[in-house]
Amino acid sequence: MMKPSKIFGLLLVLSGLFAAASVPAGPPDWSVNPAAYQYTGSVTSAVYRDLGDVGSDGDVLGAFVGAECRGVIGAWPTPGSNYLFLITVYSNQASGESLSFMYYDSGLDVVCGIAERVEFVADMIVGSMMSPMQMHIDGCGPFPPSNPGPCSACWQDTVETLSWDGGDPDSGDSIIYYVYLGTEADPPIFDSTDVYSGSTTGIIYAPPPLLDGVIYHWRIVAKDRQGMTTSGPIWSFSMGPNATEPTPWGRIKMLFE
């Protein structure tokens, strides 16, 4: 029979694995139900950052009215080695709604705003493959928080600080980090940090004293001065006298030995 301490350790490892899996990596979950709308239109565009067009496999363009997604499409490669976005947009009004756009950059793993807006008109055709509408990135959200300390699903002798890597792709942008920490699998907001600028590694936050033998879950939400937010995954750790190496599958094997 497994010792209670090993059962506790196994629970910590599994909770860390499932918590990390609960926040999928990759593009945001933008979606639209075409059957819910009466009218459609199309926009063919190329996306630009500074003076050059951007795009790669995995990039996504979304159209919105307010916070409601009205269209979403992945990047389409052209024979000329650039990318276009051929998006169908939806509305229940024949005209009068203003569409905004958001762009997911898969290379940076961030969501960016688009400067241009389009007024919806039923059956509209904006841009073409030969002459696409130019859309320009107007600021991106922070990088997803990563590289946690303590490492996820880890034991530590003591934990006096939490640390992570962050930053923002926009030069000179400032970021505040919100710390979610608790014993719940989806921890509540706990505190916030000072404001950081630029691309930052090794950000450190010192929580109040934590208890031995308790599984803590935590995540970081980064917010830049444009109000754009990016959440990191949920991580977990516990403190105790028997710290071990951080490889989850190796530790599961060790617990049964």
Question: For residue range 35-76, what is the model confidence (pLDDT) as tens digits?
Answer: 999 999 999 999 998 878 888 999 999 999 999 999 999 999
CATH architecture of the domain formed by 4-25+144-256 = Sandwich (2.60)
Can you tell me the distance from the alpha carbon of 112 to that of 237, in angstroms, rounded to the nearest whole number? 32
pLDDT at 237 over 70: yes
pLDDT band at 19 (very low <50, low <70, confident <90, very high): very low
Q: Considering the chain, what is the average pLDDT of its residues?
A: 84
Task: Tell me how far apart the alpha carbons of residues 218 and 143 are, in angstroms, rounded to a whole number.
Answer: 17
Interatomic CA distance for residues 212 and 159, integer angstroms: 9
CA gap 232, 174 in Å, rounded: 17
Q: How far is CA 63 from CA 30, 103, 127, 255, in A?
A: 9, 9, 15, 49
* CA distances for 33 relative to 38, 40, 115, 151, 158, angstroms: 11, 12, 25, 40, 49
pLDDT > 60? residue 132: yes
Question: Domain ranges in the chain?
Answer: 4-25+144-256, 34-140
Confidence of residue 93 (pLDDT cuts 50, 70, 90): very high
Cα distances (angstroms) measured from residue 73 to each of 19, 59, 131:
29, 9, 18
Q: Count the Cβ atoms, other than its own, within 10 Å of residue 89.
A: 26
- Gap between the Cα atoms of 177 and 198, Å rounded: 13
Higher pLDDT, 1 or 198: 198
> Which pLDDT does position 213 carry in this prediction?
85
Q: Alpha-carbon distance 200 to 145, whole Å?
A: 10
The Cβ-side half-sphere exposure at 61, using a 13 Å CA radius, reads 30
Tell me what the mean pLDDT of segment 190-210 comes to. 86
**Pick from 112, 121, 222: nearest CA to 170:** 112
Of 17-21, 51-55, 63-67, 137-141, the poorest mean pLDDT is in 17-21
The least confident of 65-69, 74-78, 145-149, 224-228 is 224-228
Domain 4-25+144-256 and domain 34-140, same fold? Reply is yes
Residues 236/19, Cβ–Cβ less than 8 Å = yes
Q: Could you tell me the pLDDT band of residue 196, with boundaries at 50, 70 and 90?
A: confident
C-beta of residue 240 within 8 angstroms of C-beta of residue 209 = no
Q: Which pLDDT score is estimated for 15?
A: 42
CATH for 34-140 is: 2.60.40
Give the residue-averaged pLDDT of 99-125. 96
